[in-house]
Chains A and B, each alone.
Chain A
Amino acid sequence: MFSQRPDDLRIDRYTGPYERWVYSPELGQPFVFPSHADISAGYFTAMLEGGDTLPFPAGLNARLPPIWAPDDVGHTILPFAFHRLIPHHKNDKLDQDVAALLKDAGDARFRVNFPIRPDAWVDGYDPGSGMEGWVAPATPPKAIIAVIDDGIPFAGRAFLGSDGRTRISHCWLQSAPAQERDAVPFGRELANAEIDTLRASAGHDEAEAYRRSGTLLEGREGRSGLLRRTATHGAQVLAAAAGNGPGIRAEPIGDDVQIIAVELPNAISWETSGFGKETYILSALHYVFDRARRIAAATGSDPAELPLFVNLSYGWNAGRHDGGSVLDDAIGHLVTERRKFQPLTQILMPTGNEFDADLHAHIDESRFSNGACRLGWQVQPDDMTCSYMEIWFPEGMDPSEYQVDLIPPHGQLSGRGELPVSPDPALPDGDPRRFVEIEMGGRNIGQLSADMDRGTRWRVLIALLPTWHMPGQMRAAPPGRWTVEVSRTAQASPLSEGEAIRIWVQRDDDPVRIGTGGRQSYLVDLGSRPTKDELAIYDGRLDLVRGYGGLSAIATSPGVTRVGGYESFTGYPCRYSGSPGISANGALPPAVDVSAPCDRSRLRPGMPSAGVFSGSRAMLSGTSAACPQVTRLFALNCVAGRDIWHGFENRPAHLGNSRKEPVSPIATAQHNSRLGDRIAPPPKRFLL
């Protein structure tokens, strides 16, 4: 039961659906944050949209991270961090804090993102000190590779130049315990000389270097520990993108390429909604851009910006997918503006690994029968994290004659399971929106909401509690096959040709093994479907539930270079490699730009890379393995004075496949959308 609050504190007056769900104690809050997250201390990341200054309400210590803003480049979307100076000692006031903050936003939109660990808050934040502890590399850089990831092994030998000094120019550990004074607002920054000093003082013991940097602390739940592992995602990606030595079967990176690394907090992988991560990611991008500019200035580069290749092997599923999200806009703006100074500016992201996971549905007019379309949502038992489904209506469409109904797998909802997709007149300010609580036996187990995202596109969000019973909590969602029905009145206008209602289920598993206990829910086509041909690469069909369109939701900005994955032995797209949508008329934007190998074959998953400690090796599978190979090739081509696409091939017209893959227009669109425009060469020691 959602409480009524005083009018000036009503969280639903000011917020989007995720904020309301995540920060309301009677809704998702007890289940969303891992138990270690001390949210009551009041340190948060946040996003400002639609303004270029922070209106700092009284009692709020807000700060911008390093922002890339040369000359007169301005930003309408800014990441920031804040601390409520009067912390509540009970989490049940947090929603009121957030509401009070958002109330002061004026015309601008605020999004409160994931909290910051209190010990990571830098008291003496000095943004101007970014080059302290930095010394110019002996070889002036011709290009910069940046990697934003988890578990960054910054002390590794794979990143040393030929003079024995690290090529990692700057490294921001976003959740490391803070130093008294630092050039980053939270976490800790290490500049190259500081890394070399750490390496030297720890002897050859890299674990000791990580321990001294604060990245190997007690309390694995949320931080630490990762760098003790044989391999981390970030170690493998960083090595594939910019490392030299054991496990890395690629052309070495020379001394003329410097590295910037950002280690994201482990905690952001915890929350399964995706909403709370944008500030950390956008802060990381600004930081990379800012430090790259400082490196260029300090090494006498002309032009003022060096070629920059940013690898962000991260993603989530649900979102607009139309290039119009907050992050899409912010990334697109950064890339566009920087390319005015330096055309060789690339942000590379993988297409995701959910092609075969049944997380996306495409509802066009033909799916409606008697004014309704139903599909199943299989929610797994023993799922310890919230499950989320987003239903997006076409941009510009008024869906007020549409309704979404939710039917539980068994039993019945005690509250309303239906939601008109229209504004709630009781919520007059801000983006149009409406909320309905999902209740069983009088207890809240979820939230149904409709909101007009960024004032341009209607979205329905279904948030469900974990199916596992959290100790001390009576509330849990029943596992099983939920039914979602999208229906409309007879007055509603049908979807026009090319329009579709799109559904994405949010990522809800634990790929990097941080112990979330998440279990992935998925969509089920309730109609009869032909038996799947397991050997076919392209089925030539347009199913209701389909991988086409299940592209990672943060790889959709026009400024992003999207990297899919293929099997190096066969050249086939990897079964999981994320794909943009298709229609009967061909592939839909945004296209995959390039594919690179991420499995050797279906039976030999993964590509070789390096583990955490120098000399260790590990196999990395997934499109995360493909992306850094392209990043590396771009940088190698760049410093050699070649076009960055040198050595890449155009997508073949057909697979080299003894089977007869269909050559229908749909199958052709499937081929094109999955492999993308270009094919990266396999990662052997080939000479470009």
Chain B
Amino acid sequence: MSQYGGLGGLGGLGGLGGLGGLGGLGGLGGLGASGAYSGAVTLGLQTTAEGLSHLVGTDPAAAAEPMDFASPANLSRWSGWVRGSLYLTEYAKGLDWSANAAAETVKIRMDGAAMVTLARPADTILAKQAAIVRDYADLRADRTVEITSQLGFPTEYFSMILGLHNAQHAKTLELLAATQVAAAHTAMIAKYALSVRRPDQVDGRILPMIATPGHGSFPSAHATEAYAAMTVLSHVVEGWASMSDQTTRLALLRGLAERIAVNRTVAGVHFPVDSWAGATLGTAVGRAVLRRCGQQVETPSYSYAAVHGDFTDHAFLNDAQANGLTTGPEYAVTQSPIFSWIWDEAMKERQGPGSGA
């Protein structure tokens, strides 16, 4: 269960049911034991301590050499959940938002500039979207296993495509987890502000196959996380430049992000427009994370005002404007030494001559 262990460190977040998805922090490997030992060990240690104490004197302790101050060089020493807290705060320190009640939009800013603006979809659009959700229910029998194993972060699915393993790619997985957490938190802001009913709260015939989550429908956090993860991992793969079939991997990553998003529609908990909003937001979050890592990726801002239709990655790439997605000015994102460290560590996990992996 170490996959979920990191959560303990995030304290109060444990209460946020949906953030069970934050289990991805478990990917922050090396979750060494801390806190209480078992009673027997504790007692054994104490009797041992008392049994050994006569061997040494009672002089004061000598001063030791301090570690580097506030230095990323120390990051590798800390427990994964500690770095998890640092990634989250490093990302979120530039995160801000405002809601426009008249326009029913939420504007999410990064380091002071607009990153994504989402408009609340009209009730009439949601009513039409419900028909597509009912339509997708046809695939429930096919996708049940995927859907129920993607309730948390679907890290294993990304690992499958890139051949990631904890022993070889611990830091890449940590970067992935940090990205997914950043995306989840950002999505919750928009969900809170826009307060959109879930499909089964619009149409009683949806009858979802999993519990309706305790947050709004729009945007889809799964889509946000999947598209953020895909954006970051794609850049990692390009940074590694070690995969001879890089084009294939990138195509599979895109396909997976789409499939994870669509699976939520199959399950009956998301409208296709939720996936549109989530893919938009996730793409922006992924790029913001990359900029925090010091990567020079383009960061156009986005505005999305839902147009009724299905969600596909093909349309997201090729037909965005007709579907209500427009591009605006770039937003700047400052580099973070913490994120730069994890990026550099992930880059070391490239496979190839001299990689030692």
Contacts and interface: CB of A to CB of B under 8 A. Distances in A.
Q: Is B truly associated with A?
A: yes
Interface of A: 202-205, 207-208, 211, 218-220, 224-226, 228-230, 513, 515
A228 B139 contact: yes
Nearest to A229: B142
Given A204-B251, A230-B142, A224 B314 contact: no
Contacts, number: 36
Residues of B in contact with A, size category: 10 to 19
9 contacts: A205-B313, A208-B312, A218-B131, A224-B135, A225-B136, A225-B138, A226-B138, A229-B138, A229-B139
Interface in B80-139: 131-132, 134-139
A219 B135 contact: yes
A205 B139 CA distance: 18
A513 B251 CA distance: 31
Contacts of B52: none
Contacts of A203: 314
Given A229-B139, A230-B142, 18 more contacts: A205-B314, A208-B312, A208-B314, A211-B312, A218-B131, A218-B135, A218-B310, A219-B135, A224-B135, A225-B135, A225-B136, A225-B138, A225-B139, A226-B138, A228-B136, A229-B138, A229-B142, A515-B138
A207 B142 CA distance: 16
Contacts of A204: 251
A513 B139 contact: no
B70 interface: no
A218 B132 contact: yes
Contacts of B255: 205
B319 to A, nearest CB: 11
B contact patch SS: helix
B251 A220 contact: no
B141 interface: yes
B306 to A, nearest CB: 16
Contact of A513 (B134, B141, B314): B141
The 6 closest A-B pairs by CB, nearest first: A220-B138, A225-B138, A208-B314, A230-B142, A220-B135, A218-B135
A232 to B, nearest CB: 11
B262 to A, nearest CB: 9
Nearest to A205: B314
Interface centre among B131, B135, B312 (most CB of A within 10 A): B135
Contacts of A211: 312
A205 B315 CA distance: 11
Given A204-B251, A218-B132, A228 B312 contact: no
Interface centre among B131, B136, B314 (most CB of A within 10 A): B314
A220 B132 CA distance: 9
A203 to B, nearest CB: 8
B357 to A, nearest CB: 29
A656 to B, nearest CB: 38
Nearest to A225: B138
Contacts of B134: 220
Contacts of A218: 131-132, 135, 310
B136 to A, nearest CB: 8
Interface centre among B131, B132, B138, B255 (most CB of A within 10 A): B138
A153 to B, nearest CB: 15
Nearest to B313: A205
Interface in B6-50: none
Interface string B137-175: 111011000000000000000000000000000000000
Contacts of B312: 207-208, 211
A276 B312 CA distance: 36
A234 to B, nearest CB: 15
B131 A228 contact: no
Contacts of A230: 142
Given A229-B142, A230-B142, A513-B141, A202 B314 contact: yes
B163 to A, nearest CB: 18
A202 B141 CA distance: 27
Contacts of B314: 202-203, 205, 207-208
Interface string B287-315: 00000000000000000000000101110
Nearest to B128: A218
A614 to B, nearest CB: 13
Interface in B312-339: 312-314
A226 B136 CA distance: 10
A493 to B, nearest CB: 54
Contacts of A228: 136, 138-139
B130 to A, nearest CB: 11
A515 B134 CA distance: 12
Contacts of B139: 225, 228-229
Contacts of B135: 218-220, 224-225
A203 B132 CA distance: 24
B30 to A, nearest CB: 37
Contacts of B137: 220
A204 B313 CA distance: 12
Nearest to A216: B310
